[in-house]
Structure 1
Amino acid sequence: MPVKVAHICAVPSSLKFLLSDQMRYLEEQGYEIHAISSPGPYQDDIIEQLDGRWYPARISRSISPLDDLRGVWDVARVCARERFDIVHTHTPKGTLLGQLGAHLGRVPIVIQTLHGFYFIALEEGSLSRRLVHALETFTCRATSELVLSQNAEDVARLLREGVCGPDKAQVLGNGIDISRFKPRDFDDDELRRRREAVGLKPDGPVLGIVGRYVLGKGYRELCEAVQLLAPRYPTLQVLAIGARPTSERPEEVFLPDQDPIAGERFVCLYDRQDMEELYRLMDLFVLPSWREGMPRSSMEASATGLAVVTTDVRGCRETVTHDDNGLLVEVRNSRLLAEAIAALLDDPERREAMGRRGLQRARDEFDQQVVFRRVADSYAALLKRHVRA
């Protein structure tokens, strides 16, 4: 019988956009893959991919003790019924509720991918930061047999704080489908036509940003930077692409095209499946996130030959080396963000050289197949350990 593995996320969009290729790879290796998440957009895509092996659970991104207990119970019932061999959790709430439910459902192997600590983006010293830190530490220390971290800095933190040892916390990395992305290879007339087709004006520099429409992705800071840049670059535009907000807390949502000052310079697209073509409409990629695990969007931008301006936070630092394939700026500092963007807009040769180095780095370091093999090897090692036990 095949080994049964359940991946758990808060929402189906994470299963689709973060894990669908990984789940497909694991199926090719002989694992029987299942998925658990709250209902929502893209659940039908996951149901189709997994031949119906998707199960709903009340996993909300917001903190609601009663609903969270129900979510734990939902996961526990599915795990007890399906008798999974491995439960692999992702995202903060998916990990917390999923791991508790998996243990209640008596799953023998429970692991997590750490997509970046969430507490780091919260206000220093705040009650919410201390609470989230405690919960994230708890899942790493007490409920996970293995923690696969997307970035090395989070592993270093776990080891430094004594949360777990090097046998339990390992660097997984992150990757993309390198074959899907390639630099722009059409002339200026075709570029104008394609830009107009998505709602952009045909001429002028185009910045790009890809990410959920939430404050934590740095959209407010980008709006402020664009406002500072507007007098110098009157034709500047921003192409933003993200999932339509559905499960986010209302206070976290930020739609840049509705900004009263800079909004008119933004074209916002939702739920696109043609990212490999949209990157090729950009002149420079910007990701001013407050926190990241290891951002796929900046890797995809590099694989398209774009220079990247991003924040000097862990995760982002693993995809961009300052003054090599892009620039790093202080987080939540719109003035420095504007200065970095201007520096590269004013120097096309420097920007294009960074793009070429980023393209080579993507080909050398960001292939998702390497990550998938690490996951499969981790499963095999854990299964072997349990057989011996």
Structure 2
Amino acid sequence: MKKTVTMQRRRKLMFVCGEDWSFVSHRLGLGRAALVRGDEVIVACNANEAAVKLRAEGFRVVDVPIARGGLSPIKSLKTIKALACLIRRERPDIVINVAIQCVVLSALAGLLVGVRRSVNMVTGLGFMFVSNGAKARLVRSVVSMLMRIYARCPSIHVIVQNSDDFELMRGLGFSQKRLSLVRGSGVDIRQFCPGKPERRHDERKTAIFVARMLWSKGLAELVEAAGILKDRGFNYRVLLVGDIDPANPDSADMESLVKWQQDGLLEWLGKRSDIADLLRQSDLAVLPSWREGLPKSLLEAAASGLAMVASDVPGCREIVKHNQTGFLVPMRDAGALAQAIEDLMEDDTKREALGRNARILVEQELCDAVVIRKTLDIISA
């Protein structure tokens, strides 16, 4: 008698994110875990250099014109149409939308073509939720209206990264059955680990800021704080690591960055691939952001055993526990920021103790293994 063998169809996941490099930076571990368990993984994004690496690892990368920079109606409609066509053609089991712009546009595209399930990662609410400009207020009202509609759709599940955003989504109508809190995107604690070499007696202490060069990351406040510290006679190095983002209305301009460097306030290194090494060579991580999901740069800094100074805002306070893993300061307060940097830079014992606590927090609650397992469980539910 012949045996009939039934081949189980591979589950097909489609990640939708703005840029290929963003997937590599924030979701590569999650994507790899899905591949290992046998899923087919499509990455729909603006495909550039990083797509080559992704394809070599077994991901199917599809170049999609993801609108960026404030939800322009024409660009947004083009993105929705392209995503709807792709979803209809590929028929994924689950669509995973990453970051608020993709959540807004791709969730709508999925509803239009009857996607079975979408998991929407709200990794922060971006410039539109921290700016009081007329355009930002308009976009914010549109996004809030759409999220209220999505809250009524059984196929849509939302993941947020901090308790403030969890309560915000509850207020927009999401039930606890379709809303999850997963703190951060995880960090590889083998790559990001303590290991600062012995300091030379003449070596300057270093504060490092890792982020896109956006005003809402607290860039102006950090520059002002650097000036205050310089006027007080402190000769710290202040490193800015990250690129400008011309498509983002919140981006700083290159001329300002060059001028600040010429004035001796800071060193701008631009986009770098050796973040782990730069963190190990630093003494303190700084992120005076106005609002976050749970910032990857602080996760990496904490894993590297650095104490942190950050604004007391959603996202940052999920990892910066005041007087335990770092110091929290009021948002947009350059004076308080400068004082916190000075206090920790001048107290080696305190700074190193906070850094050790930060590493323990990441190992126990925020590392890749923990976050990826939780996220895959939600995706597969």
The equivalent of 1:85 in structure 2 is: 93
Letter of the structure 2 residue corresponding to residue 204 of structure 1: R
d(CA) in 2 for partners of 1:223 and 1:101? 41
Tell me the secondary structure at the aligned position of residue 340 of structure 1: helix
Deviation larger for 253-262 or 233-242: 253-262
Checking the alignment, whether the CA contact within 8 Å between 1:288 and 1:310 is kept in structure 2 is yes
The match for 1:42 among 50, 59, 69 is 50
Tell me the secondary structure at the aligned position of residue 167 of structure 1: helix
Deviation larger for 363-372 or 54-63: 54-63
Letter of the structure 1 residue corresponding to residue 363 of structure 2: R
Tell me the secondary structure at the aligned position of residue 54 of structure 1: strand
The match for 1:32 among 25, 31, 40 is 40
The equivalent of 2:140 in structure 1 is: 132
Against the structure 1 CA distance between its residues 97 and 41, is the aligned structure 2 distance closer, same or farther, given a 3 Å change threshold?
Answer: farther
d(CA) in 1 for partners of 2:369 and 2:118? 23
**1:295-354 C-alpha deviation (Å, 9 max, x unpaired):** 121121111111100000011110011111100011111111111111112212111111
Give the superposition deviation at 1:169: 1.2
d(CA) in 2 for partners of 1:380 and 1:171? 16
Tell me the secondary structure at the aligned position of residue 63 of structure 1: coil
1:178-193 equivalences under 5 Å are 178-188=189-199
Checking the alignment, whether the CA contact within 8 Å between 1:205 and 1:237 is kept in structure 2 is yes
Tell me the secondary structure at the aligned position of residue 183 of structure 1: coil
Give the superposition deviation at 1:262: 7.5
Checking the alignment, whether the CA contact within 8 Å between 2:87 and 2:115 is kept in structure 1 is yes
Checking the alignment, whether the CA contact within 8 Å between 1:257 and 1:264 is kept in structure 2 is no
**1:213-243 C-alpha deviation (Å, 9 max, x unpaired):** 111111111000000000224422112211x
Deviation larger for 8-17 or 286-295: 8-17
Checking the alignment, whether the CA contact within 8 Å between 2:97 and 2:121 is kept in structure 1 is yes
d(CA) in 2 for partners of 1:158 and 1:94? 16
Letter of the structure 1 residue corresponding to residue 173 of structure 2: V
The equivalent of 2:181 in structure 1 is: 171
d(CA) in 2 for partners of 1:187 and 1:355? 16
Give the superposition deviation at 1:208: 0.4
Give the superposition deviation at 1:247: 5.1
- Counting aligned pairs with the same residue, the percent is 27
Deviation larger for 11-20 or 325-334: 11-20
Give runs of ≥4 in structure 1 deviating > 6 Å: none
TM-score w.r.t. the length of structure 2 is 0.89
Checking the alignment, whether the CA contact within 8 Å between 1:226 and 1:262 is kept in structure 2 is no
Gaps in structure 1 of 5+ consecutive residues: 193-201, 382-389
Give the superposition deviation at 1:277: 0.9
The equivalent of 1:68 in structure 2 is: 76
d(CA) in 1 for partners of 2:334 and 2:262? 13
Against the structure 1 CA distance between its residues 233 and 337, is the aligned structure 2 distance closer, same or farther, given a 3 Å change threshold?
Answer: same
The equivalent of 1:22 in structure 2 is: 30
d(CA) in 2 for partners of 1:341 and 1:289? 15
Deviation larger for 245-254 or 56-65: 245-254
Checking the alignment, whether the CA contact within 8 Å between 1:47 and 1:54 is kept in structure 2 is no
The equivalent of 1:245 in structure 2 is: 244
Give the superposition deviation at 1:130: 4.9
> What is the aligned residue count?
367
Give the superposition deviation at 1:370: 1.4
Against the structure 1 CA distance between its residues 345 and 246, is the aligned structure 2 distance closer, same or farther, given a 3 Å change threshold?
Answer: closer
Give the superposition deviation at 1:187: 2.5
Tell me the secondary structure at the aligned position of residue 187 of structure 1: coil
Letter of the structure 1 residue corresponding to residue 235 of structure 2: T
- Give the root-mean-square deviation of aligned CA atoms: 2.2
TM-score w.r.t. the length of structure 1 is 0.87
1:205-354 equivalences under 5 Å are 205-242=205-242, 244-246=243-245, 248-249=247-248, 252-255=251-254, 257-260=257-260, 263-354=263-354
Checking the alignment, whether the CA contact within 8 Å between 1:302 and 1:355 is kept in structure 2 is yes
Gaps in structure 2 of 5+ consecutive residues: 1-8
d(CA) in 2 for partners of 1:293 and 1:133? 20
1:351-370 equivalences under 5 Å are 351-370=351-370
Against the structure 1 CA distance between its residues 149 and 5, is the aligned structure 2 distance closer, same or farther, given a 3 Å change threshold?
Answer: same
The equivalent of 2:109 in structure 1 is: 101
Letter of the structure 1 residue corresponding to residue 163 of structure 2: A
